[in-house]
């Protein structure tokens, strides 16, 4: 795929929708607010493709009038102006500029019903963020709760219809196609889960390779220091998991949702286990098998394309890991999921469940959950940590340990986004600009969610007790490494 025809969210604004004339500014935006309500055009039409800059500025001023602080907005004409509750009293946030590249996206801001309309516009390139994306994402709370008084809503709607009418004959430049929506998941059936995994994970192995660590670990890293490299932090996470599970030579180890095979390979190489991985992604399976062969571990490691519901014999494994997997199962299927994992464990066997949890209880339909299910994880559903523990206990597990890694995931996502941004041009060799933007916004927004404690990451170590109630756990388990691990040899 050729490089995008515009610079995108990383840098300067696009020349394809610019106009030379510039008449909208903070003063005219303020003066034009009444014009938006009365339907009078605010002037400054210029001679370019689009008309109505003053009217558009007035509409955006009204939309953001209750925004705390002040931010800078720029229209297709290139004219910047300030909006927000403190415009004129405080300097605009210097970290970013919000760019609207055509009148229709301004109209959609006012008239649209889709809570994700601004995200869609960003994916298409109709809206851009120049500067610090993380700072811009703090607008999310305002946009989600944005409620104008009835008089302002009517006035803004009339202004939006007027702006749309002014530009009916305008020829819009072709932008990015909107990103594909994921398949709708109703009951988390085998077919639905397979299609959802294909949508998310089979984008391109090379795309993931651009921004993941050297070993391609697609889950929260474990930072022993804040300045630790991503490669070393993911190595430390693999070690942490294996030590928590107390893996021993010749044990049978199952990794549910094994990805590109990193954990099963690591466990076989460093702890001498016989490892079995299962995945629903054909592209991941192909890479995992290649890596196993290259490591000379075909006699110790097997990976398969298999649904967890199709796992066979009872009491087949000494240890089981579920890393970033249970989020795809569906809340109603969690009892079946954990009962299945308990069934395949031997008595005294250990399960490590590592995954994202929700600060809220259940998975209600709100903009953030709609975003995840529409663009990223069609089958994704999260719940509160206490509910997850309750389901595991009802399935017959004893909870031995719970560890929160929430700050670690924020650091992981910071590293992923930084790597993806630095490899923007290369990413466009494997995915479209719209898909690149989906991933950039998704991971940046997730980092903000972890920092604000809206989402969390927990590792739960659970035991399948023996018939006499024994757990096989030492009285005081020690799984912290005696030395610092590095990514050498991965």
Q: Where are the domains of the chain?
A: 8-166, 190-464
- Positive or negative torsion for Cα 37, 170, 13, 123: positive
CB 200 within 8 A of CB 376: yes
The string of DSSP codes covering 27-61 is HHHHHTHHHHHHT---S---SSS---HHHHHHHHH
Three-state DSSP state, 182: coil
Between β-strands 96-100 and 71-74, what pairing exists: parallel, antiparallel or unpaired? parallel
Pull the structure tokens for residue 485. 């691990």
Label each residue of 79-104 as H, E or C: CEEEECCCECCECCCCCEEEEECCHH
- In which residue are the tokens 């929506």 written? 181
The DSSP code sequence of 390-427 is HHHHHTTEEEEEEEE-HHHHHHHHHHHHHHHHHTHHHH
| Bridging pattern class, strands 127-131 and 80-83 | unpaired
Provide the whole-model pTM.
0.82
What is the model's pLDDT at position 5?
25
Four-CA torsion 182, 187, 188, 193, nearest 10 degrees: -40
Q: Which two structure tokens, joined as six digits, stand for 73?
A: 């907005």
Q: For position 144, what pLDDT does the model report?
A: 64
CB of 18 within 8 A of CB of 78? Answer: yes
Hunting for tokens 């300045």 — which residue is that? 227
- Per-residue pLDDT for the chain (490 aa), expressed as one digit of tens each? 332 222 222 223 333 333 333 333 333 333 343 433 333 333 333 335 899 999 999 999 988 888 888 889 999 987 789 998 887 666 677 889 999 999 999 998 888 777 788 888 899 999 999 988 888 887 777 766 667 788 888 999 999 999 999 998 876 665 566 677 777 777 778 777 777 777 766 678 899 999 999 999 999 999 999 899 999 999 999 999 999 999 999 999 999 999 999 999 999 999 999 999 999 999 999 999 999 999 999 999 999 999 999 998 888 999 999 999 999 898 899 999 999 999 999 999 999 999 999 988 877 777 778 887 888 877 788 899 999 999 999 999 999 999 999 999 999 999 999 999 999 999 999 999 999 999 999 999 999 999 999 999 999 999 999 888 888 787 877 776 544 555 554 4
Among 101, 6, 11, CA closest to 48: 101
pLDDT at 4: 27
Measured distance between the N- and C-terminal CA atoms of the chain, rounded to whole angstroms: 31
CA gap 6, 488 in Å, rounded: 39
Q: Residue 86's pLDDT is what?
A: 80
CB 301 within 8 A of CB 273: no
pLDDT for the residue numbered 487:
52
How would you classify the pairing of strands 96-100 and 127-131?
antiparallel
Query: Per the structure block, which two tokens stand in for 383?
Result: 């719940």
pLDDT at position 456, please? 95
Tell me which residue of 325, 383, 395, 332 sits closest to 359, measured CA to CA. Answer: 383
Torsion of CA 460, 241, 410, 322, to 10 degrees: -60
CATH code given to domain 190-464: 3.40.50.150
């Amino acid at each position: 795929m050729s490089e995008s025809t515009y610079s995108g969210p990383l840098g300067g604004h696009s020349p394809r929708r610019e106009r030379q004339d510039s008449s909208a500014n903070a003063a005219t935006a303020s003066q034009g607010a009444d014009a938006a309500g009365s339907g009078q055009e605010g002037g400054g039409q210029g001679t370019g493709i689009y008309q109505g800059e003053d009217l558009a500025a007035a509409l955006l001023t009204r939309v953001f009038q209750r925004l705390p602080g002040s931010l800078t907005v720029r229209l297709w004409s290139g004219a910047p102006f300030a909006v927000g509750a403190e415009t004129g009293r405080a300097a605009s946030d210097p970290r970013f500029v919000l760019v609207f590249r055509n009148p229709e996206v301004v109209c959609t801001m006012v008239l649209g019903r889709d809570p994700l309309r601004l995200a869609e516009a960003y994916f298409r390139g109709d809206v851009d963020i120049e500067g610090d994306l993380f700072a811009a994402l703090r607008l999310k709370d305002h946009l989600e709760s944005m409620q104008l008084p009835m008089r302002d809503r009517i006035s803004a709607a009339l202004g939006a219809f007027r702006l749309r009418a002014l530009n009916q004959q305008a020829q819009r430049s072709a932008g990015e196609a909107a990103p594909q929506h994921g398949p709708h998941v109703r009951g988390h059936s085998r077919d639905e889960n397979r299609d959802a995994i294909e949508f998310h994970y089979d984008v391109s192995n090379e795309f993931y390779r651009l921004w993941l660590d050297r070993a391609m670990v697609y889950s929260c890293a474990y930072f022993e220091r804040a300045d630790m490299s991503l490669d070393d932090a993911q190595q430390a996470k693999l070690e942490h998991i294996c030590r928590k599970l107390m893996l021993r030579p010749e044990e049978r180890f199952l990794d549910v949702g094994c990805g590109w095979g990193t954990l099963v390979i690591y466990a076989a190489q460093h702890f001498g286990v016989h490892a079995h991985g299962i995945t629903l992604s054909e592209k991941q399976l192909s890479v995992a098998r290649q890596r196993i062969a290259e490591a000379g571990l075909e006699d110790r490691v097997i990976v398969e394309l298999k649904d967890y519901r199709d796992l066979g014999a009872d009491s087949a494994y000494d240890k089981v890991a579920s890393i970033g997997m249970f989020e795809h199962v569906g809340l109603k299927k969690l009892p079946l999921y954990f009962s299945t994992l308990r069934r395949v464990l031997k008595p005294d066997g250990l399960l490590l469940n590592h995954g994202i949890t929700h600060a809220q209880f259940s998975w209600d339909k709100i903009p953030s959950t709609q975003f995840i299910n529409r663009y990223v994880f069609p089958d994704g559903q999260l719940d509160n940590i206490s509910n997850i523990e309750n389901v595991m206990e009802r399935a017959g597990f004893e909870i031995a340990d719970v560890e929160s890694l929430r700050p670690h995931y924020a650091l992981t996502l910071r590293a992923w986004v930084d790597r993806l941004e630095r490899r923007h041009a290369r990413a466009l060799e494997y995915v479209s600009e719209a898909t690149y933007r989906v991933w950039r916004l998704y991971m940046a927004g997730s980092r903000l969610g972890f920092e604000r404690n809206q989402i969390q990451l927990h590792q739960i170590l659970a035991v399948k007790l023996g018939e006499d109630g024994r757990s096989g756990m030492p009285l005081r388990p020690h799984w912290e490494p005696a030395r610092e691990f590095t990514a050498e040899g991965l």
